[in-house]
Every structure is written in C-alpha cells, then in structure tokens.
Amino acid sequence: MKHAGAAALETLSDLLERLRTRTALAERRPGIFYIGGKAFLHFHDDPAGLFADLRLGGDWQRFPVNSSDERAELLAVIDEMF
C-alpha cells in the first residue's frame, strides 16, 4: 500500500486542516505527522480507499478515512490521546 500522494491528500484537506490545529503534532511533510521526533500519523492510498496509519503505543493501527464519520472517528481517537 503506497503513501498517499498529492491528489489523495487533496481529498483529505478538511481532515488535514483540522489535524494541523493540534499543537502536539508536527507535519514534516504533507500528510505525515510526528510527535516529538517520532512518526505518529500518515496516510495511504489503496484501491479499497484512503487509510490513516496511527501509532497507538508502539503499534500502528489502520483507520479508514473515506467518509466524514470515519474522519471524525480518527480525530476523536487522536484527541483522546491528548
């Protein structure tokens, strides 16, 4: 599964804008977020849709981000961490 390119990230612009307001996150490259120098969140483009990989503890967990409800769920999980 490849990392999301510019076109895929454009479809996630509303989600990315909301993520950028979280001061704990640093976006080092478009759509790739870090916390304290450690990779935390990035996106993948797949024939099955768009997915976010979120580091929870030491493991990556995949979240679909194709609908507004799925994006809201991802944001809720992130907000619970802070």
d(CA 36, CA 34): 6
The model's pTM is 0.94
CA distances from 26 to 4, 19, 73 (A): 18, 9, 20
Contact in structure between 35 and 42 (CB atoms under 8 Å): no
Question: Does the structure show a pLDDT above 80 at 17?
Answer: yes
Taking only the tens place, the pLDDT of each residue in 18-64 is: 999 999 999 999 999 999 999 999 999 999 999 999 999 899 999 99
Cα–Cα distance, 33 to 53 (Å, whole number): 10
Burial class (CB in 10 A: 0-12, 13-18, 19+), 36: exposed
